[in-house]
Amino acid sequence: MGLDWNMTKGNKEVFAIVVFGCIINEGYINKASEEEEHCIFNQNRSACTYGVTVGLLAFLTCLVYLAVDVHFPQISSVKDRKKTVISDVAVSGVWSFFWFVGFCFLANQWQVSNPNDNPMNEGADAARAAIAFSFFSIFTWAGQAVLAYQRYRLGSDSALFSQDYMDPSQDQGPPYPPYASNDDLDPSAGYQQPPTDGYDAGTQGYQAQDY
């Protein structure tokens, strides 16, 4: 699930950049007889503003939660871990709704746009790209909410929300064995008492030889 998790986050960032980048670069046009620029979406400045705002804030949100994911293994409090994962579920669900509203708003305004307002059809590809990636963003954020919820349920049944949780990627192998005391050693290999029948200097020492 880790690979899907990271790919979903990466897709969200790319989609958000495409949406607000297309609108900023080519979302405002003006007629030859006018100097004032108008939003390409039915000259409705609110549509362009909404697309840029949602895209930029979604991108910043991705960066924030990317930092949270990096810091997550260092969070010692079980309650803080649960709150972090729950917030990911809630935020992803909210952003999925925002993108749904943005897709409907931009698609509707593009559909009712007057072709005479843009006779050269300038920025049409950028407008369609913004609409398309707004649509894709709905499912990426919804998928992120589902993955975060699965992570929460998985954590409830594992060590994710326990005090002993450690990041598996930081596992350095089995710890060193504890120091063995004398009581843990084999008694037969320990210190042996000297024999009771020690050296008798009187009977077993050097004796003079008679010639």
Give the global pTM: 0.68
Q: Which helix (H) or strand (E) holds 51?
A: helix 45-71
| pLDDT digit string (tens) for the chain, length 211 residues | 444 445 556 688 899 999 999 999 999 988 767 778 899 999 999 999 999 999 999 999 999 988 888 887 887 777 888 888 899 899 999 999 999 999 999 999 999 998 888 878 888 999 999 999 999 999 999 999 998 888 878 765 545 555 444 444 444 444 444 544 554 545 554 445 555 554 444 444 445 455 4
* N-terminal to C-terminal alpha carbon distance within the chain: 99
**2-165 topology per CATH:** Butyryl-CoA Dehydrogenase, subunit A; domain 3 (1.20.140)
How far from 111 is each of 45, 58, 118, CA to CA, in Å?
15, 25, 13
